[in-house]
Amino acid sequence: MSRYSAAEIEAKWQAAWDTSGTFRAAHRPGQKKYYVLEMFPYPSGRIHMGHVRNYTMGDVVARYKKARGFNVLHPMGWDAFGMPAENAAMQSGGHPAQWTRANIAEMKAQMRPMGWSLDWSREFATCDEDYYGQQQALFLDMLEAGLVYRKAAVVNWDPVDMTVLANEQVIDGKGWRSGAEVERRELVQWFFRISDYSEELLSALDGLEDWPAKVRLMQANWIGKSRGLQMGFALTAPLAGHETIEVYTTRPDTLMGASFLGISPDHPLARALEGDRADVAAFCAQARHGATTAEALETGEKLGFDTGLRVAHPLKPGETLPVWIANFILVDYGTGAIFGCPAHDQRDFEFASKYGLPIPPVFVAEGTDEAPLREAYVPPKEQPVRYIRGFAGEAVQTGEAAVAAAIAECEKRGIGKGVTRFRLRDWGLSRQRYWGCPIPVVHCPACGVVAEKKENLPVRLPDDVTFDQPGNPLDRHPTWKHCTCPDCGGAARRETDTMDTFVDSSWYYARFTSPHAEVPVAQDEAAYWMNVDQYIGGIEHAILHLLYSRFFARAMIRTGHLPATCAEPFAALFTQGMVTHEIYRTRDAQGRPVYHFPEDVADGRLKATGEAVEVVPSAKMSKSKKNVVDPVNIVAQYGADTARWFVLSDSPPERDVEWTASGAEAAHRHLARVWRLADEAAQAGDGTGPGDADLIRAMHRTIEDVTLGIESFGFNAAIARLYAFTGTLAKSDAGGAARKAALRTLAQLMAPMTPHLAEEIWHLLGGLGLVAEAPWPVADAAMLARDEVTLPIQVNGKRRGEITVPRDLGTTDIEALVLADDAVQRALAGAAPKKLIVVPGRIVNVVV
C-alpha cells in the first residue's frame, strides 16, 4: 500500500508519451483528422492559470477525439513579436530576441509538466526567420494581388509606444497596450484591403453555426453594414472648386425635414474655408481639439459654426439650407457631411435647439397630429408611422418601407443613388517598431515603391540595434536600410516599418499544418488538416484576431496559399471564461491599498503579522492585485492532474471559475481517493460479488453521461458524474473483477482531464498499452435501460409520491396503481380525478 504521488506518476507518463511519440501528428490520408487549436500564447515568460484552463480544455478535446479514432493535430507555438520585448530591452538593456527566446524556454519548461498532448515537433515562434520570411512571401503575393496598398492617412499615434495603432487598438481614445492618450498624425501607411471583404465577412458569419452567437454579433456590429442614399446638395455659390456637397444618409425618407447641412471640421470644404477665413480656422481648431478630450466626449456638447454658405434643397425648388461646420460629424464615415433632420435625430435636435434652427417633423405617431417636439422622435424602423412631409411611398408606412421608397424615388429623379456602406475600414498594418516582421519592399528614387524579390527573403531584422532612445531602431540603424533596388539595381532605401503583430497571428493556424515547408503553407497538408475543427481562446479576441484571420484565410485563397475550402479557418469556436481569485487587501499608513498574495494569507489574516485583511470579491487574476496563483506552485504542491481537474470542475467552461485553496485541496483529495480505490482493487482477487450488476450498470450510465458532457463542452458536468461514479464505486459490494473493470473504465473517462493518473490506474489494473492510445469506452444501450422505472406522482403538478413499475407496464395499469396510491387517495378524498396524465417512463400527474 503506497500513496498517490503525482510527482512520480506525472514525470513517468510524460516520458512514456514522448518515447512512443503518442502525440506526434502525421498526415494519414485514410484516417479522419481532427484539428484542435488553442490561441497561442505571447511568451511573457510565465504561464498563468488562464493558460492552464485554456490549454486543458483543448487537451480534453484533443485526447477525447484521439480516443474516438481521429487523427488529431494539436500544435503549440509562440506569438513572439511585439512591444514588451522592446520595452524590456529599453528598460534593462539586452536584446528583444534574447529576451523572447529566454522567455519561450522558460515558459515551455512550465508548460511541459502540465502533460498537454501537444505535438511539440511543430512548434515555431513568429519571430523565427523561417516564419516571418514566409509571411513576407505572403505579403508580396498579397501586394501583387492588390490586397495591400499605401496611402497617406490620419493615423492614431501612440506617443508612449511611439507607434501607429489600428482603430481597433484604440480604446476610449487610449492605446490598447500603453494606455496613453492617442494623437492624430498624418503618415503614409501600408493597408490591407480588408474592406473589400466587408460584405463577405459579414454574410459568411451566418454559416459559422458553431461559433458563439455573441461573437458573430460583435463581428457583425463591427463590420457595420448600412443601406442609405448618397446625394449632392448644390451650393448656391460655388466656392474653391466645390459646387456640391455630397451627403450620405440612412434616412432619406426624412429629407423634407432637413433644416441645415453639416460638414466635419476636417471636410475638404471646411479646410478650404479655413485657409481664407480666420474665424473658420479658429472654430475648426477648437472643434478638433475638443473632440479628443475625454470631457468633451462625456458632455457631448454640440458645437457649430455657420459658414454663411447655402445649398439648394433638391426636393423644394427655391428653398435653401444653411451650411454649418459641426464638431460631431466624423470625416471618415460616409462623406463627412450630413443633412440635419432635427425632428428625427437626437444629435441634430440638440444642435438645432442650440442654434435656433427649425425642427419640422416628417412623420408622427399613428393617430396623433403634428406638435412641437421636446426631443427627437425616433421610433423603431419597423414601426408604422404617419408621414406628414413624405415624398415617396404610402402616407402610413414603416420607416424601412419609407427608406426604400425614398431611395427609389430619389434615384428616379436623379438626385442621388442608393449605396451600401460599411463601418469596417482597411487594416493599417505599418508599425514604426523593430521587433516585428519587416515589410519586404524597397523605396527607389527611380522606380518608386518596389517589392523585394522572393529569392531575397527573408528580409532579416538586423541584430545590432539599440533601444536607448524612443522611435524606430530600424530607421536609425546606420546601414540596414541602405540597399539596392531589386528592379534597377540603383541605390535605394528599405522600408523601415514592420508589420502589426496581428498579421503574425492571422495565419499561424495554417502554418501549423506544415511548419517546416519552404512555402508559407504546403497545399497537400493544408488540404488534409484544415480547417481547425475546434478553436479555443478568450473572448477578448472576438473581433480583432478572429476577423483578421478570416480575412487572411480569404486572401490566402486568392493568392493560392490555401484551398478554396479554407475561407472560414475555424469551424467551431469556443470562448472560455477567466480564472478569478479573491483579492486580499490592507491599507498602509496613508490609507493606500496594499495587496497580498494568497499564499501569505491564512484565515483572513496575514501569516507574517497576523493583521486582518480585507477580502475583495473575486476578480480576474492580475499581478497588480496579487490575486494570482502560480501554476508552477500548484503543480509542485499537488501535481498537474489536480490543477487540470480543478480548472475544469466547478464552473461551466464559458464562465469564469474562481480558484480557491479549498477547491484545489478537494480536487487533490478526490484524485487520491481514486488512486486508493485502484490500489485496493489491484490487490483484490478477480472474484464476483453481489453488487457486480449494479456497478457495471452504473459504469455504463457514467460512460454515457461523461461522453455527452465532453461532446457538449460540459466539462464541469462530466466531472460531477465522475465524482458520483467514484462514490458509487467506493460503496459498491461488487467483486474484484467488476471493480477492476469499473476502475479501468473510470481511468479512461478521466484520461482527458487527468491523463497521468489515468495511465497509472490503467497500467496498475492490467490495461493494454497506453490509455492515451486506447479507444474510448462505449456505453451498452442495453445496460442503460432499467427493468423497472420509478415514476413520480404529481397531484396538481406538485410531487406527492412515487411508484415503481416494470418499464413496459401499460398506461391503464399505471393509472390503476396511481389511483390506489395512498397520497393520491388522500388528495382525492373520495372524489374522482378530473384528469389523469401519464407520461410513460417519466411522470404521472393527477388533476383533482
Partner RNA sequence: GCCGGUGUGGCGGAAUGGUAGACGCAGCGGAUUCAAAAUCCGCCGGGGCAACCCCCCGUAAGAGUUCGAGUCUCUUCACCGGCACCA
Q: Which of 530, 567, 774 is nearest to 34 (CA)?
A: 530
CB 824 within 8 A of CB 793: yes
Residue 336 as a binder of RNA (CB under 7 A): the answer is: yes
Q: Which of 160, 408, 419, 823 binds RNA (CB under 7 A)?
A: 823
Pick 374 or 592: Cβ nearer RNA: 374
Residue 839 as a binder of RNA (CB under 7 A): the answer is: yes
Torsion (CA) 632, 633, 635, 639 in degrees, nearest 10? 170
Residue 523 as a binder of RNA (CB under 7 A): the answer is: no
- Candidates 79-87, 142-150, 354-362, 788-796; binding stretch for RNA (CB under 7 A): 788-796
CB 189 within 8 A of CB 153: yes
Angle at 201 between CA 197 and CA 206, to 5 degrees: 150
Q: Which of 337, 375, 123 is nearest to 230 (CA)?
A: 337
Residues 164-193 that bind RNA (CB under 7 A): 171
Least separation in angstroms between CB 334 and RNA: 3
Pick 516 or 799: Cβ nearer RNA: 799
Identify the three-state secondary structure at position 742.
Answer: helix
Cα distance between residue 119 and residue 103, in whole Å:
20
Q: 803 has which bridge partners?
A: 791
Cα distance between residue 164 and residue 84, in whole Å:
16
- Candidates 317-325, 352-360, 682-690, 799-807; binding stretch for RNA (CB under 7 A): 799-807
Pick 406 or 510: Cβ nearer RNA: 406
Give the relative orientation of helices 631-638 and 640-648 as an angle to the nearest 10 degrees.
120
Cβ count near 40 (within 10 Å)? 23
Residue 374 as a binder of RNA (CB under 7 A): the answer is: no
- Rg of the chain over all Cα atoms, to the nearest angstrom: 34
Identify the three-state secondary structure at position 674.
Answer: helix
Pick 346 or 466: Cβ nearer RNA: 346
> Phi/psi at 181 (nearest 5 deg)?
-60, 125
Residues 533-572 that bind RNA (CB under 7 A): 539, 543
Residue 790 as a binder of RNA (CB under 7 A): the answer is: yes
Strands (E), 146-263: 148-158, 163-165, 170-171, 174-175, 183-192, 225-239, 242-249, 260-263
Verify cis geometry, omega within 30 degrees of 0, for the bond prior to 252: no
Judge residue 538's burial from the number of C-beta atoms within 10 Å of its C-beta, 0-12 exposed, 13-18 middle, 19 or more buried.
Answer: middle
Q: Which of 22, 98, 472, 651 binds RNA (CB under 7 A)?
A: 651
Least separation in angstroms between CB 775 and RNA: 26
Instruction: Mark 298-319 as b/e (b = at least 16 C-beta within 10 Å).
Output: eeeebbbbebebbbbbbbeeee
Torsion (CA) 83, 89, 91, 94 in degrees, nearest 10? 160
Q: Which of 519, 768, 816, 837 binds RNA (CB under 7 A)?
A: 837
- Candidates 45-53, 695-703, 767-775, 795-803; binding stretch for RNA (CB under 7 A): 795-803
Q: Which of 471, 593, 727, 769 binds RNA (CB under 7 A)?
A: 727
Q: How far is CA 590 from CA 586, 587, 593, 596, 604, in A?
A: 11, 7, 9, 17, 22
Q: How many residues bind RNA (CB under 7 A)?
A: 82
Least separation in angstroms between CB 646 and RNA: 9
Pick 23 or 351: Cβ nearer RNA: 351
Residues 421-460 that bind RNA (CB under 7 A): 423
Pick 15 or 847: Cβ nearer RNA: 847
Pick 348 or 504: Cβ nearer RNA: 348
Residue 796 as a binder of RNA (CB under 7 A): the answer is: yes
Least separation in angstroms between CB 304 and RNA: 11
Q: Which of 264, 307, 627, 702 binds RNA (CB under 7 A)?
A: 264
CB 135 within 8 A of CB 41: no
Residue 733 as a binder of RNA (CB under 7 A): the answer is: no
Cβ count near 402 (within 10 Å)? 26
Q: 526 has which bridge partners?
A: none
The H helix count followed by the E strand count for the chain is 27, 36
Q: How far is CA 258 from CA 269, 319, 341, 352, 589, in A?
A: 20, 11, 5, 11, 62
Q: Which of 649, 732, 748, 754 binds RNA (CB under 7 A)?
A: 649
Least separation in angstroms between CB 415 and RNA: 15
Least separation in angstroms between CB 272 and RNA: 18
Pick 94 or 840: Cβ nearer RNA: 840
CB 67 within 8 A of CB 751: yes
Residue 804 as a binder of RNA (CB under 7 A): the answer is: no
CB 848 within 8 A of CB 823: no
Q: Which of 333, 517, 599, 600 binds RNA (CB under 7 A)?
A: 333
- Candidates 69-77, 242-250, 553-561, 635-643; binding stretch for RNA (CB under 7 A): 242-250
Q: Which of 44, 178, 195, 226 binds RNA (CB under 7 A)?
A: 226
Least separation in angstroms between CB 59 and RNA: 20
Q: Which of 128, 181, 599, 650 binds RNA (CB under 7 A)?
A: 650
Least separation in angstroms between CB 322 and RNA: 17
Strands (E), 264-394: 304-312, 320-326, 337-340, 363-365, 384-387
- Candidates 272-280, 334-342, 363-371, 503-511; binding stretch for RNA (CB under 7 A): 334-342
CA pseudo-torsion sign 579, 584, 588, 591: positive
Pick 490 or 792: Cβ nearer RNA: 792
Least separation in angstroms between CB 672 and RNA: 6
Q: Which of 98, 250, 353, 523 binds RNA (CB under 7 A)?
A: 250
Residues 270-309 that bind RNA (CB under 7 A): 291, 296-297, 300-302
Residue 400 as a binder of RNA (CB under 7 A): the answer is: no
Residues 346-365 that bind RNA (CB under 7 A): 347
Overall size of the chain counted in residues: 848
Residue 605 as a binder of RNA (CB under 7 A): the answer is: no
Q: Residue 794 CA to chain centroid, in angstroms?
A: 46
Cα-Cα end-to-end distance for the chain: 61
Q: Which of 130, 411, 487, 658 binds RNA (CB under 7 A)?
A: 658
Least separation in angstroms between CB 333 and RNA: 4
Pick 168 or 533: Cβ nearer RNA: 168
Q: Which of 312, 401, 527, 666 binds RNA (CB under 7 A)?
A: 666
Residues 311-330 that bind RNA (CB under 7 A): 327-330
Least separation in angstroms between CB 63 and RNA: 21
Residue 673 as a binder of RNA (CB under 7 A): the answer is: yes
Residue 112 as a binder of RNA (CB under 7 A): the answer is: no
Pick 447 or 661: Cβ nearer RNA: 661
Q: Which of 100, 189, 249, 559 binds RNA (CB under 7 A)?
A: 249
Identify the three-state secondary structure at position 615.
Answer: strand
Q: Cell digits for 499?
A: 508589420
Least separation in angstroms between CB 674 and RNA: 10
Identify the three-state secondary structure at position 499.
Answer: strand
